[in-house]
Amino acid sequence: MATKRVKEILAILDEQYGTDYICYLNHENAWQLLFATIMSAQCTDERVNLVTKDLYVKYDSLQAFADADLSRLERDIRSTGFYHNKAKNIIACARRLTEDFGGQVPDTIEELTSLPGVGRKTANVILGNIYHKPSIVVDTHVKRISARLGLTKETDPEKIEYDLQKVLPKDHWILWNIHIITFGRQICFARNPKCEECFLRSYCREKAGKKK
């Protein structure tokens, strides 16, 4: 059950940012989002979008990724960093999807996390953005800001996810990540957050009572 305090925070975020589902990683289908999310580890969404713009023209089907040459794919995605593991996982993932899932990206957390290179974060991105199933993506912004707002004391992403599941109403699980990414990019930076402009300042546990 969401507390009055949590409901107030959500109402403010809804008012500020709306309630549309936005995905910052460009994609036209489920496997494109899946591979873009794998590439986004330790990389900015802007960089991934730059890479996928050409990549998804060159490799225009799941089968094209399943048949891809590892060293060539490594070169194609090099600028996203950690390209060896990412390329290896993308090819292995494409093969699993074509061989075991009839070319479809599955819609359960168990099946998604059984894919090579797919952890809970990536699985939740797919569940929320593609299938609109209630799911909470814990990225660096969600981790930092959920703690600042006093919604978790955990540091492990999986434990944070479970804490958030307890305090947020299900209809805001997907939106939480969308809103908090925007908030984290515009106001609540990791270093030197713009606390003087912050519309959630009165709910902030980290800054409340401190002079700025």
Name residues contacting ligand SF4, limited to 153-192 (CB under 6 A). 187-188
For 151-190, letters b (16+ CB in 10 Å) and e give bbebeebeebbebbeebbeeebbbbbbbbbbbbbeebbee
CB of 93 to ligand SF4, least distance (A): 36
Q: Is 121 a catalytic residue?
A: yes
Residue 8 near ligand SF4 by CB under 6 A: no
CB 133 within 8 A of CB 107: yes
CB of 210 to ligand SF4, least distance (A): 9
Find the part of the chain contacting ligand SF4 (CB under 6 A) among 29-37, 93-101, 154-162, 198-206: 198-206
Pick the catalytic residue from 86, 121, 143, 207.
121
CB of 35 to ligand SF4, least distance (A): 32
Number of residues this chain uses to bind ligand SF4 (CB under 6 A)? 12
CB 184 within 8 A of CB 141: yes
Residue 201 near ligand SF4 by CB under 6 A: yes
How far apart (Å, rounded) are the C-alpha atoms in residues 91 and 87? 6
Name residues contacting ligand SF4, limited to 115-154 (CB under 6 A). 148
Cα separations (Å) of 110 from 50, 89, 119, 202? 31, 17, 10, 39
Pick the catalytic residue from 7, 88, 133, 139.
139
How many C-beta atoms lie closer than 10 Å to residue 129's C-beta?
A: 23
Q: Is 45 a catalytic residue?
A: no
How far apart (Å, rounded) are the C-alpha atoms in residues 35 and 182? 22
Question: Between residues 4 and 212, which has the closer beta carbon with respect to ligand SF4?
Answer: 212
User: Which residues form the catalytic set?
Assistant: 121, 139
Residues that bind ligand SF4 (CB under 6 A): 148, 187-188, 193-195, 198, 200-201, 204, 206-207
